[in-house]
Structure formats: C-alpha cells, structure tokens
Chain A
C-alpha cells in the first residue's frame, strides 16, 4: 500500500450455529491452538452459554449462538487464518454457511482539505444541484457536509460458494485533525442456507485457500483509494 496505515486490522466472521461455552482460553490451549502462556494471560470479559468475549494473545474473540468473530490488529495476518482454521478443524461438525474476511485500514492524507477533495472525487457534490452548492460552501457550526459513507459491492459468480466483495469508505473517526480515511473491505462467502449445511469442512477449506489472496485483493482495493491523493 502506498500510504502506511496508521491503524490496520483483519477479522474473520463466521455465521452458523455455535456453542459459545466451548471457546474458552483453556480449550484453545489444551488443543495447542494457542500457547499455555497466552491462555493464562488471556483477558476474559465473559464466557457463558450465551456469549463468549475474550482476548487471547493478539486475537480478540466474540462468539454467540449464530456468530463467531475473531480479529487482530497485529500482522502477520495469516496467524488469524491459522487460528480460525485450526479451531474449526477440531469443530468440523459446527454448521457454518457464511464467512467474511475483513480488512480495515485507517490512513492519513495529510489534512482535511485533501480528504474533502478525495471525498468529492468519490461522491461529487455537483449532481446534488443547489444543495450540493450549499454543502460546498464550507463548515457550518464547525461541521463540514459531504459524504459520510460510501459502499461499493461486487457480487461473485454463482456457484457452490457464492458471495460478494464490498468496499466501504468513510471519514476516519480515529485519525485526528479530520485528515484520515477509513477503508473496510468485506470479502463475503456463502454456501447456501444454514438448514442444509452439514459441518464446516468446506467453508474452512475455502478460508485456508482464500485468506491470503483475499487480503492481497483487499489491499489492492485500499491502495486504489489511497491513489486518489495523487489525482487531486
């Protein structure tokens, strides 16, 4: 990526039927998915039959009845894929029918003016007529108008594993001085209805095979947004 991100992260979200109580740090350590030290040092918010929320090593985990989510802000991202692949390699009977590989980045474009010009490239004010002209006049009560959220979606070809690629661009709420842009890429996979899903072997095989190409593709798309700084 041509601009070094100020904050980046990856997450894997799985949808299906889960038993939150399983996902305790002790279970991960006993199955050698994490080290004993990482399990001992884990920060457990809650582990109960309804929901599990904990941080083990560099992974933040949240599991409830129909959703498993794991994320990390520390590269190498492949560790996250290994963590999830290994976990569900042991829980192969867990029905999972949807998966999202998410890549997030906050980066600075230097100043607010540049960010606004990039915003105007992505979502021009001209088609909005007189209202667009009013927005373009500048700040009102310290707040500037303009686009707040832009989402682009590309469906994948139908097949046994369909889905879509979705890119979301927003002004960053994490970078100071209104100079930041937040880009989120969601690579979504679906294998059909949950009722007809048996286990997760196929979905996890897709994760193992697709994770790194997906992250590379996401970073290319993020880089495309970054390249807009050079076009203004």
Chain B
C-alpha cells in the first residue's frame, strides 16, 4: 500500500467521470454570490476595516494584506467553493477513438489528390513502408491551408461517437501544427549529424 499522490490529475468535477449525483444548476449562482461576498469581506478587512464598496482608490492601494497574501486567500476560498459546489463541465459533443493510426508526410500534390508516405503507428512501425493517395476535397478548410510538400499529417480510421449515441466509422486526415524549431534544436541536429558523419568509415 502507498499514500496517494495526485497533483496532476484533472479536477474532481471534470466531465470524464462525473459524480453520480449532479449539482442543481442554481448552485452555480449561489456559488458566484458566495464568492463575491467573501471577496468583498476580504477587501473590507484589508482596507482597515472600511467597507470595500466605499473605499477610494488610494485607500484600496493602502492595503494591509500584501497582494500575494490576498491572492493566496482568494485562491483558498475559490477551492473551498469549488469543492462545496461542484459543477461538471459539459462533456464534448463528439468523441473519436482511433482503431488504426498512421503518420505521414506529403510527397506529391496534384489538383485533386495528394500523396503521402506512411508509418503504421498502430503496428508499432518506426519507418515509412506504405504510400497512399488522399483526396484534397476530404480535408477540412483548416487542414487544406497546411497542405504543402513535406507537411506532416496523421491519418486515423476510427469510430466517432456523438453525444446522443450515434456511432459512425470515419477516416480522417489532420495536419500537425508542429512546434517551431528552436536555435537549440538546430544546434543539436547539427551536432548529431556531425557525429554520424564522423562515425561513417569509407572503405
């Protein structure tokens, strides 16, 4: 047995696995009102016990509680309110699980189709062994903007489920919005290339 450590888990009221008992919607209004009242009280306290609403700007700046301290108190109260009045974020209207997934890069672009070299990720392949043509008209407008030679994309075949329970098989290509290369990345790539080049022995 071990003590639980759970700091990067989603918040308890996440939509993934909502609690069985739902909070009535009017509670969110009560929570907002509750929060506002507590903040007013804290402000009033920090302005030498004057009522926050009547404090002038200069009096507001002349606070007895440091900014960090006040922020920490407000955060603590926020967390108390969230745990006292949990609200569940709405579940997404669509979900898509991949049955098969490939990564590819564009090798040719025609008027109606583009061609890509593919690595079968589901089969655990490391190098591209397949090639396929894809209709450009199947791409979304966003993805069409990213279509260019060498562009990296994912092709998945999977089941898309709608909130109402509808399920359909889909084939979807999405282009990756890859992080930009940093100077450090380029330096490392050059170093790796130099090391590889150095290790090649010509016979």
A117 to B149, CA, bound (A): 53
Q: Is the CB of A86 within 8 A of B142?
A: no
A76 to B142, CA, bound (A): 16
A7 to B98, CA, bound (A): 11
Q: Is the CB of A79 within 8 A of B95?
A: no
B56 within 8 A of A: no
Q: Taking CB as reference atom, which chain A residue is nearest B89?
A: A60
A170 within 8 A of B: yes
Q: Taking CB as reference atom, which chain B residue is nearest A216?
A: B124
Choose the segment among A29-37, A108-116, A129-137, A223-231 that binds chain B (4+ C-beta atoms closer than 8 Å).
A29-37
- Which of these, B11, B20, B95, contacts A9 with CB under 8 Å? B95
- Which of these, A82, A83, A186, contacts B9 with CB under 8 Å? A186
A69 within 8 A of B: yes
By secondary structure, the B interface counts as loop
CB distance from B41 to the nearest CB of A (A): 17
Q: Is the CB of A89 within 8 A of B6?
A: no
B16 within 8 A of A: yes
- Interface readout for B27-68 with A: 1 if CB under 8 Å, 0 if not? 000000000000000000000000000000000000000000
CB distance from B9 to the nearest CB of A (A): 5
Q: Is the CB of B19 within 8 A of A76?
A: no
- Interface readout for A144-169 with B: 1 if CB under 8 Å, 0 if not? 00000001010000000000101000
Q: Is the CB of A7 within 8 A of B161?
A: yes
Q: Is the CB of A184 within 8 A of B16?
A: yes
Q: Is the CB of B4 within 8 A of A151?
A: yes
- Chain A contacts for B2, CB-based, 8 A: 153
Q: Is the CB of A100 within 8 A of B95?
A: no
A126 within 8 A of B: no
Q: Is the CB of B18 within 8 A of A173?
A: yes
Tell me the residues in window 168-188 of chain B with beta carbons closer than 8 Å to chain A beta carbons.
174, 176-180, 182
Q: Is the CB of B5 within 8 A of A188?
A: yes
Given contacts A65-B75, A78-B176, contact A153 B8 (CB under 8 A): no
Tell me the residues in window 130-156 of chain B with beta carbons closer than 8 Å to chain A beta carbons.
141-142, 145, 154, 156
- Chain A contacts for B24, CB-based, 8 A: none
Q: List 12 A-B contacts (CB under 8 A).
A: A6-B161, A8-B97, A9-B95, A32-B177, A37-B142, A60-B89, A69-B10, A72-B92, A79-B176, A82-B176, A86-B177, A99-B8
A-B complex: 5 closest residue pairs judged by Cβ atoms: A100-B8, A73-B95, A35-B142, A75-B98, A76-B154
